[in-house]
Amino acid sequence: MSLVTSKGMLLDAHKNNYAVGAFNANNLEMAQGIVAAAEEENAPVIVEVSQGGLSHGGIAEMSALIRALAEKATVPVALHLDHGMDILHNILCLREQFTSLMFDGSQLNYEENVAITRDIVKIAHMVNIPVEAELGKVPKDPDEMTFEELKQYMTEPDEALNFVEQTGIDFLAVSVGSMHKMKVRKAILEIDRIKKLRETVDVPLVLHGSSGVEEDSIKKGIEAGISKINVHTYLAQNFTRDMKKYLNENPDAIDLRKYLAAGREALKEAVRHKIRLFNSNNKANQIEKINVDVESDDIETVDSIE
Ligand code: CO
Ligand code: CO
């Protein structure tokens, strides 16, 4: 089917206490592995590309590739911008038919984060595309801060409510104990904080940096209210491991198809594992309305954008 927005699948996940995986793709083989895994598990899936991934592959090129895979797929596939750092990249992705956006203003002060997020939401909602934004810090990697230091940057429920109301976002990325780029799974989520956030704000919550979180803690996080989970590092680890293994066993190999296929197969199995962990397997057919309208009642004309 054609690409769908992330709105309908995440509302279904939110309602039925499972999480949709958002898996990062940086090239053809990663995108193929992700979509193939979703089909084998009959799961809705979000293929996401970060700004780094877009500068590697090209915005139009990555979009065309993932759109083609979605059209052949039997499960709903959304194309999401992961960590858009400014208005420009969100608009460029909107122009290239992305069906889900993210603005990451977590490095800005609260007022600036609200102002830019709100502008992106207004624009994206005019063409029915949902937007994720981030409040609180999910550190770039464990070298940036310790888990003890992280506590003061975690998302506060009252501020989160204010942020959602002021910006009109569709999904909220929260800081609840995870960090990006962790190669070992040892982080533990603050489950009580997730519960409080779930009670306080009514939009689906997003977990970044899941590769570093203990899998049992991920399960508890989903039960407590996480509806979208981003996975990148774990996929890269699995892809690279089996590609290296192939090259070590076949030192004279020069055929890219052979060693990239080894990586793709490992990535596919890694995605299947995460889909089952997130309990999104066999959910592809139950989503009542795939392209749910985003709320745009306060938007009349382009003139209303400040
Ligand atoms: Co992230
Ligand atoms: Co990421």
pLDDT tens digits for range 13-58: 999 999 999 999 999 999 999 999 999 999 999 999 999 999 999 9
Whose CA is closest to 229, among 194, 184, 258? 194
**Ligand 1 midpoint to CA 123 (Å):** 23
Near ion ligand 2, which residues have CB within 5 Å?
232
Nearest to 66 by CA among 29, 103, 92: 29
- Predicted pLDDT at 295: 76
Please tell me the predicted confidence (pLDDT) of residue 298: 54
Catalytic residues: 82
Closest ligand by atom to 51 CA: 2
pLDDT of the residue at 145: 87
Ligand that lies nearest to the alpha carbon of residue 104, given by its number in the listed order: 1
Cα–Cα distance measured from residue 192 to residue 196, given in angstroms and rounded to the nearest whole number: 6
- The pLDDT value given to residue 121: 98
Range 99-127 average pLDDT: 97
CA of 230 from ligand 1 middle (Å) equals 7
Number of H helices, E strands in the chain: 12, 8
Residue 220 clears pLDDT 70, i.e. is over it: yes
Per-residue confidence (pLDDT) for residue 297, from 0 to 100: 54
Instruction: Summarize pLDDT for 243-253 with one digit per residue, the tens.
Output: 999 999 999 99
Q: How far is the CA of 180 from the centre of ligand 1 (A)?
A: 6
For residue range 130-153, list pLDDT tens digits in order. 999 999 989 888 888 888 889 999
- The CA 2 to ligand 2 mean position distance, Å, reads 25
The pLDDT > 90 percentage for the chain reads: 88
Rounded distance from Cα 140 to ligand 1 centre (Å): 8
Would you list the domain boundaries of the chain? 7-300
pLDDT at 144: 82
d(CA 194, CA 187): 15
Q: Point out the ligand nearest to the CA of residue 26.
A: 2
- Look at residue 34 in the predicted model and tell me its pLDDT: 99
Q: Which ligand is nearest to the CA of 138?
A: 1
| pLDDT of res. 142 | 82
Q: Which top CATH class is 7-300? A: alpha beta
**126 φψ region: left (φ > 0), alpha (ψ -120 to 50), beta (else):** alpha
Per-residue model confidence as pLDDT tens digits over 261-300? 999 999 999 999 999 999 999 999 998 888 888 976 554 5
Q: Give the Cα separation of 274 and 261 in Å (integer).
A: 20
Q: Is the pLDDT of residue 232 over 90?
A: yes
> In sequence order, which residues have a C-beta less than 8 Å from that of residue 279 and are 6 or more positions away?
17, 18, 19, 222
Q: In angstroms, what is the span from residue 172 Cα to ligand 2's centroid?
A: 15
Percent of the chain past pLDDT 70, that is, above it, reads: 96
User: Which pLDDT score is estimated for 290?
Assistant: 85
Q: How far is CA 160 from CA 122, 132, 191, 220, in A?
A: 19, 13, 16, 21
What is the band of 304 on the pLDDT scale with cuts at 50, 70, 90? low
Residue 306 confidence (pLDDT): 54
Please state which of the ranges 177-191, 213-227, 263-277 shows the lowest mean pLDDT.
177-191
Q: What is the mean predicted confidence (pLDDT) over 203-218?
A: 97
Which of left, alpha, beta for 28 (phi over 0: left; psi -120 to 50: alpha)? Answer: alpha
Q: What is the per-residue pLDDT for 305?
A: 52
